[in-house]
Amino acid sequence: MQRLPYEVKIKRAELRIKEFYKKVVYDMGKHVHISVGGLDSLTLLYFIRSLGYDAEEIPAIGVTCLEHQSIRRIHKKAGVIPVKPFMYKHQVLRELGFPVISKAKAHKIELLQTKDSEKQTFIHAIMTGDMGEQGKFQHSDKIKLPDKWLELFGGNYQEHRPDLCCRCAPFKVSADCCKYMKELPCDTWAKEHDSYPFLGLMASEGGQREFALMKNGCNYYGKNTIRSAPFAPFMRQDVLQLALDLKVPIPEAYGTIERKPDGTLYTTRAQRTGCDICGFGIHLEKRPHRFDRLREENEKAWHFWMYEVCQDPETGEHYGWGRVLDYIGVEWEDRYIDWERRQMSIEDYLGNM
C-alpha cells in the first residue's frame, strides 16, 4: 500500500475516515475526535475538515502546551481543544528520567538501571540476546541492546557481559514521558467524552508504530482500543504534498515546504517536532539539531533545560540535557554556526550593494 500512487492513497484515506465515522457514530452510538500535535496530524485535521466534517461532528484535541509556540498558535486558530498534561516537562525529567535513544531502548535502559530487578531473565536477554528457557534458548538481536549502549548503561548487570566495560549513567532514563504528558491525558478525555480518535500515524515512521499499524491496519476495533489511522500507508512525501494541496498553515518550527531538484519535498527547518525535552533520536541528528534550534529561538529556555532542570541528590549540583548529551557523545555546548548559510548571506548582501 505504501507503493500505491498518491491519488489512490488519498482516496483510500477518505474511505477509511468515512467508514470509521459511520461505524463509531451510527453503528456504535459513540463519538469521534482528532488527536492533534505536529504537522502530520494538523494535515489530517485539515483533510477531515475538507471532507465536510465540522468541529461539532469531529472535534480536535491536543496537549497544546507541550508543542512549539508556532504550533500552539495554529492549534488556537484551528479550534483545537487544549488538554492538560498529567505531568509537566520538568517533573518528567526530575521524577522519571530523560527520554533518550528511542522509546524501545529507553524501556530496556530503565530496566537495567533498576538494581536487583526481579526480571533477571529479560535482563539477561537485553544484555546478551540469549532468550533462555522461556524463549526456547534462541538468540534475538532485536531484544538485545547494542553493545555501545550496554557499555554506557549496563553497569548494574556487568556480570552478564564480562567482555564489556559497562558503566552506570549519572542520570535516570525513562520512556514514559509521552505516557503521562500526552497519552493518558488524551485517553482520559476520550473516556470522559465517550469518543474514539483519528490519529495522524504512519507506518513509514518505523519503530513500534510501524509494527502496530502493519498488524492492525488503518481502522482498528479492538477489545480495549478503537482508533483510526487513515494515513497509515502514507510516506512523508504524501503528507507534505497533501499539506500543500490543502494549503495547511505550516508552523514556523518546520520552516516552509520546498522541493529539491529531483522533486523531493522537504521542510526547511525541523523535519519532526515534539516537546523540547524529547531526546529520542537526537544521536542520529546532524547539526543544527533540535537543541541548537531551541538555543536560536530562546537562549534562556535552552540554558534551563541544558544546565538547571535537575539537581543531583548526592552533590547538589544542577544539571540537565547537557550532561546527557555529553554522556552519549552528542555535541551541543559550542554555539552552532551554519557557515554555508552564513556565507550565502554575505554573498547576498554584497550582491545588493
Write a three-state SS string for the chain: CCCCCHHHHHHHHHHHHHHHHHHHHHHCCCEEEEECCCHHHHHHHHHHHHCCCCCCCCCEEECHHHCCHHHHHHHHHHCCEECCCCCCHHHHHHHHCECEECHHHHHHHHHHCCCCCCCHHHHHHHHHCECCHHHCCCECCCCCCCHHHHHHHCHHHHHHCCCCCCCCCCCCECCCHHHHHHHHHHHHHHHHCCEEEECCCCHHHCHHHHHHHHHHCCEEECCCCEEECCCCCCCHHHHHHHHHHHCCCCCHHHCCEEECCCCCEEECCCCCCCCCCCEECHHHCCCCCHHHHHHHHCHHHHHHHHHHCEECCCCCCEECHHHHHHHHCCCCCCCCCCHHHHHHHHHHHHHCC
Say yes or no to pLDDT of 198 above 90.
yes
**How many CA atoms does the CB half-sphere of 42 hold within 13 Å?**
27
Question: What's the pLDDT score for residue 135?
Answer: 59
pLDDT category at 204 given cuts 50, 70, 90 is confident
Say yes or no to pLDDT of 245 above 80.
yes
**How many CA atoms does the CB half-sphere of 51 hold within 13 Å?**
19
d(C-alpha 39, C-alpha 333), whole Å = 29
List CB contacts of 41: < 8 A, sequence separation 6 or more.
34, 35, 62, 199, 200
The vertex-311 CA angle with 300 and 95, nearest 5°, equals 100
Q: What is the mean pLDDT of residues 295-299?
A: 90
d(C-alpha 188, C-alpha 184), whole Å = 6
- What is the share, in percent, of the chain residues with pLDDT greater than 90? 71
pLDDT digits (tens, 9 = 90+) for 97-106: 999 999 999 9
- What is the share, in percent, of the chain residues with pLDDT greater than 70? 92
Mean of all residue pLDDT scores within the chain: 90
d(C-alpha 249, C-alpha 256), whole Å = 10
Q: Whose CA is closest to 93, among 188, 176, 2?
A: 176
Question: What's the pLDDT score for residue 349?
Answer: 47
pLDDT category at 50 given cuts 50, 70, 90 is very high
C-alpha cell at 126: 537485553
Question: What's the pLDDT score for residue 340?
Answer: 57
d(C-alpha 125, C-alpha 135), whole Å = 9
| pTM across the whole model | 0.82
pLDDT digits (tens, 9 = 90+) for 117-164: 889 989 999 999 987 666 566 787 889 999 999 999 999 999 999 999
Say yes or no to pLDDT of 270 above 90.
no
Question: What's the pLDDT score for residue 20?
Answer: 97
Give the residue, 335 or 244, on which the prediction is more confident: 244
Say yes or no to pLDDT of 351 above 80.
no
For 61-70, 73-82, 204-213, 287-296, which range has the lowest pLDDT when averaged over its residues?
204-213
Query: In this structure, are residues 39 and 220 in contact, taking their beta carbons and an 8 Å threshold?
Result: no
The vertex-20 CA angle with 19 and 23, nearest 5°, equals 85
Query: In this structure, are residues 197 and 186 in contact, taking their beta carbons and an 8 Å threshold?
Result: yes
Give the residue, 121 or 319, on which the prediction is more confident: 319
Question: What's the pLDDT score for residue 137?
Answer: 64
Place of cell 532468550: 131
C-alpha cell at 299: 537562549
d(C-alpha 61, C-alpha 191), whole Å = 13
C-alpha cell at 333: 555546548
